[in-house]
Structure 1
Amino acid sequence: MIERGSAAAERGIDNPGGRDQHRAMTSNRIRLVLGALALSTALATAGCTKEPAAEAAAEAEAEAATGTEAAAPAAAAVAASEPAAEGGDVYGTGVGDDSETVSIADLSANPEAYAGKSVRVEGTVTDVCPKRGCWFDMAGSEPGQKMRFKVRDGEMVFPVDAKGKYAVAEGVVALQPLSLEQTREYLAYQAREYGADVDPESVTEPMTIVRLDGKGAVIRDAE
């Protein structure tokens, strides 16, 4: 029988062996609690980093290609001191006038021309990462066109209620060609995690992921 509470403690006072046993049991309980806390912390921080090989490879390639330009400083999570002229909520470094302004349509039609370059795009927010708020999609002028603005987990956090608002975003264009197998794996992940309406097995050609590795953004109410 396992003794608990003050009764066991009192018996431990009169019995040195019991006192040692009580201390050992207490130490084991503490280790179990700390272990559980560590596990729950790891699960809570997994978020969008738990992605298939295709997505992980795409992120690694994009980071390597863009170097320090794609990596926002630790202070990027803080709003810029001077909001952009568009007004609204500022994320990261906001947006400036140094980057070339490109339409989502032009960027989608000829992404190779902008690979590795810092550009500024804008459009209506059509979707936001529901887990960590680490990305949002902007719609282009043509049906089905969109551009994803992606940051590392925790650098900027975009609220889910940004969906339907208007975004002006600045980032580095990153391209990652995928094999057909990687394409199907990536689309299966999108369908499983985000409810994308796609049948991965019906895809017969490999795709290239095109996105903006985020530097800053301004999100405001749609006009």
Structure 2
Amino acid sequence: MKKTFLFIPTLLIIVSTATGQSFNNYGENISPDITHAYSSVKASIQNESVDNVTLEGEIVQTCPKKGCWVRMKVSESDTLMVRFKDYGFFVPKEGMEKKKVIVKGKAYMDTMSVEMLRHYAEDAGNSEQEILKITEPQYIVNFLANGVLIEK
């Protein structure tokens, strides 16, 4: 009888570990269980921002200087710039590429100035030539995250 009581909890732990994903949490605690489709969020934010949205994607790049932003792939053709609310938290600067990421916060359209685009390009380690090629602002989807989950 004692063996049965020990076996069942051990089996449950093994099964839950094998099927569930493990994440590191940065900022506000968020759940990986509920995410929104990027296509519907993108359609909604054409007119106004959307608060309290959770998106899933793959990390393309993190800020190599501080870990203060993430570029994440959210569809075959779209990459999203994610910044962190009030610079209240940072993510690791290295080794995060191609990892699954879940972000929760506010999605909105905004014009990113040439100065900011160049700043992010410099942070990303782009060459001076590449940075100087940035001559026009871009109207892009932005994301201000309250919390971030990155797969372990």
TM-score (norm 1): 0.48
Percent identity reads 22
Q: Select the residue among 143, 148, 156 that pairs with 2:81.
A: 148
Report whether the alignment pairs 1:213 with 2:148: no
RMSD: 2.9
- Deviation string 1:110-148 (CA, Å, 9 cap, x unpaired) is 5335604210001111111111112212102223x1112
Structure 1 distance, partners of 2:48, 2:21, is 24
Report whether the alignment pairs 1:91 with 2:26: yes
Report the 3-state secondary structure (helix = DSSP H, G, I; strand = E; otherwise coil) of the residue aligned with 1:185: helix
- Post-superposition offset of 1:193: 3.1
Structure 2 distance, partners of 1:119, 1:133, is 22
- After the TM superposition, which residues 78-157 of structure 1 pair with which residues of structure 2 at under 5 Å, given as runs? 86-96=21-31, 101-108=35-42, 110-113=44-47, 115-143=49-77, 145-151=78-84, 152-153=86-87, 155-157=88-90
Structure with higher Rg: it is 1
Q: Select the residue among 181, 185, 189 that pairs with 2:115.
A: 185
The structure in which a higher percent of residues are strand is: 2
Q: How many residues align?
A: 127
Q: What is aligned with 1:15?
A: none
Q: What is aligned with 2:11?
A: none
Q: What is aligned with 2:91?
A: 158
Q: Which has the higher contact order (CA 8 A, sep 6+)?
A: 2
The structure in which a higher percent of residues are helix is: 1
TM-score (norm 2): 0.66
Q: What residue ranges of structure 2 are gaps of 5+ in the alignment?
A: 1-19
Structure 1 distance, partners of 2:149, 2:47, is 25
